Amino acid sequence: MKGFWLTFTDGSKGYCEGSGDFDAKQIAEKLTGKTVAGGKYRDIAAKTLPYPANPIIWQLDHPVSGKCPAFCYRPNECAGETTCRQARACTE
């Protein structure tokens, strides 16, 4: 599963995991009743995030390790990245 920072047509945003951006879009739309911005199949308003961020729409609950905590405190800045760009932890 990959994590995505999604933007909805009403301007709200949230984190959702899926096998790809389209999968995350489908999951988020089903669970929220909102529409993800962008195209139906392409140009989806979904950017990768290295770690989960709040609000979390849906996240895999791994049978061994459970859910990963929401480590990303600046999702709007980090959206589109595959690794954290911060020189130090955001909590410091």
Length in residues, the chain: 92
**Which of these ranges, 11-20, 39-48, 55-64, 77-86, has the smallest mean pLDDT?**
77-86
Contact between 50 and 84 (Cβ < 8 Å): yes
What pLDDT shows up at residue 89?
63
Task: With CA atoms as reference, report the closest residue to 36 among 5, 8, 76.
Answer: 8
Dist. CA 88–CA 18, nearest whole Å: 28
Mean pLDDT, the chain, integer:
92
What pLDDT shows up at residue 92?
52
Mean pLDDT score, 57-70: 95
Pairing of strands 56-58, 13-18: parallel
Q: Does the pLDDT value for residue 59 go beyond 70?
A: yes
